[in-house]
Amino acid sequence: MDKEILSSERLKASYIRYRHPSGLSILLYPMEGFSTAYGLFGTNYGSVDTCFRKKGDPAFTEVPAGIAHYLEHKLFESEDGDAFKLFAATGAEANAYTSFDRTCYLFSCTSKFEESLKALLTFVQHPYFTEETVRKEQGIIGQEIRMYQDSPGWRVLFELLSCLYEHSPVKIDIAGTEESIAQITPELLYTCYDVFYNLNNMVLAIAGNFDPDAAMQVIEQNLRDTPPVEIERAPYNERREAIKSRAEIQMDVSLPQFYIGFKQRPAEGESAFLRQQFELEILHELLIGSTSSCYEKLLRQELISASFGTEVFAGRGFLVSLFGGDSENPEAVWDALMKEVQRLKKEGIQEEDFHACKNAIYGRMVRALRDVEDSATALLSAEMAGISFFDSVQMLADITPADVARRLETDFDPDTAAMAVVRPRG
């Protein structure tokens, strides 16, 4: 088994990376002075992975929307009962989440770490699906889908994504639809599990108060052998421009809620894609971040509130610069943002502003290493991007004003932009 100690002089920190013979990447980050241990077991598999094949298979397999999230729910059930009972016995808190491009299972504990780690490894690696349990889950997840349909913030996001994307599953709710989940069977769940829950496609990250040697002993004893699988995902060809520039719905809200988005092409290669995301984060700060003149002006004019924020919305096959919040006049925010994009293109980026924005992002990365949950998540995210966390910090440090200026020219075309608004009924 390959073992590396990854260190950063800049951050005065280090963690251990193991390449297990099973293919699993194991990241261990003991943190002195902390009382909690946090474990995160993740797979490179999310809601956008609806059309795939193993390398060598003649045809792609297409599965219903929402199946990754459905599978996450079902893994907590086994022949012996609910996996939460395993954690109740250790006193740990357990949970899981599915995003657009990953699924993660987690626990947090202050004692009985080895027992909790064993419980995590056990239930994630032992699927159990029957016709009866799968049918029972349809009602539960159907209720969850309806609940999110009543959330204005969730609805306006997917209204925007439908403006930007024509074919990509990213425009469909992570949980799917009531129609799509009705098509899910035990056989389809096992098919997805066998492909995506292969240990070659997974990462285990642990941070906080634990003994790395004890952790490795538990891991060695509880990993099942899986033959390596190479996964090919079907591409979703999208045109460069937005499909439409506006969408609007009405809901029970007191103020209009909006999202503005620029659709962008992800850079080729995981490392280049991550660098692109850093460059966009810097641009968001420069354009309309909380210290920018544009933000302060809109705040003074009461066109935005403290709810306003930005996000680099990125994952496998999709990338959007998001800007959103509450506003009495979303169109005025759109106009101000578009004018600011053109101004920055014309006048150029001031080096002092650039460094202030980059340092703010660097500060967030440093702070992540001081939080048990954030540390494990950051390590796992970097590993899934194909680099170490410290390499990602260095990648940010290497970005120049010229890099960001080029990104502004290539990734902020008004033809790729759209806005979705939820307005009060009536």
pLDDT category at 86 given cuts 50, 70, 90 is confident
Q: Is the pLDDT of residue 88 over 80?
A: yes
The whole-number pLDDT of residue 393 equals 94
Instruction: Please tell me which residue in 4, 9, 72, 159 is annotated as part of the active site.
Output: 72
Establish whether domains 2-233 and 246-424 are of one fold.
yes
Helices and strands counted in the chain (H then E): 15, 17
State both tokens at 238: 């999208």
- The percentage of residues in the chain with a pLDDT greater than 90, rounded to a whole number, is 91
pLDDT category at 401 given cuts 50, 70, 90 is very high
Q: Which amino acid is at 145?
A: I
The whole-number pLDDT of residue 352 equals 95
State both tokens at 405: 């200026």
The whole-number pLDDT of residue 225 equals 83
Residue extents of the structural domains in the chain: 2-233, 246-424
The whole-number pLDDT of residue 10 equals 85
Neighbours of 4 (CB within 10 A): 11
The whole-number pLDDT of residue 320 equals 98
Q: What topology is assigned to 2-233 in CATH?
A: Cytochrome Bc1 Complex; Chain A, domain 1 (3.30.830)
- Residue appearing with tokens 């060598």: 56
Class assignment of domain 246-424? alpha beta
Looking at residues 163-186, what average pLDDT do you find? 96
- Residue appearing with tokens 């239930």: 123
Residue 60 phi, psi (nearest 5)? -80, 150
What DSSP line would sit under 228-247, residue for residue?
A: ---EEEPP----SS-S-SEE
Q: Which amino acid is at 6?
A: L
pLDDT in tens, 120-167: 999 999 999 999 989 988 989 999 999 999 999 999 999 999 999 999
Q: Is the pLDDT of residue 111 over 90?
A: yes
Of 206-215, 230-239, 326-335, the poorest mean pLDDT is in 230-239
Distance CA 259, CA 251 (A): 15
State both tokens at 19: 């390449």
The whole-number pLDDT of residue 205 equals 98
Secondary structure element (H or E) that encloses residue 262, with its range: strand 257-263
Q: Is the pLDDT of residue 80 over 80?
A: no
Looking at residues 382-404, what average pLDDT do you find? 95
The whole-number pLDDT of residue 154 equals 96
Q: What pTM did the predictor assign?
A: 0.94
Distance CA 164, CA 300 (A): 31
- The percentage of residues in the chain with a pLDDT greater than 70, rounded to a whole number, is 100
Residue 105 phi, psi (nearest 5)? -120, 140
The whole-number pLDDT of residue 397 equals 95
| Cα 411 from chain centre | 21
pLDDT in tens, 218-231: 999 999 888 889 99
The whole-number pLDDT of residue 56 equals 85
Q: In the predicted model, what is the mean pLDDT of the chain? A: 95
Q: Is the pLDDT of residue 81 over 80?
A: no
* Rg of the chain, C-alpha, whole Å: 22
Secondary structure element (H or E) that encloses residue 156, with its range: helix 152-164
pLDDT in tens, 17-56: 999 999 999 999 999 999 999 999 999 999 999 999 998 8
Q: Is 238 a catalytic residue?
A: no
State both tokens at 342: 């053109």
pLDDT in tens, 308-317: 999 999 999 9
Q: Which amino acid is at 185?
A: T
Between 250 and 426, where is the model more confident?
250
pLDDT in tens, 295-311: 999 999 999 999 999 99
The whole-number pLDDT of residue 271 equals 92
Burial of residue 425 (CB within 10 Å: 0-12, 13-18, 19+) is exposed
Distance CA 320, CA 265 (A): 9
pLDDT category at 172 given cuts 50, 70, 90 is very high
Pairing of strands 2-8, 13-19: antiparallel
Q: Are 285 and 136 in contact (CB under 8 A)?
A: no
Secondary structure element (H or E) that encloses residue 122, with its range: helix 113-124
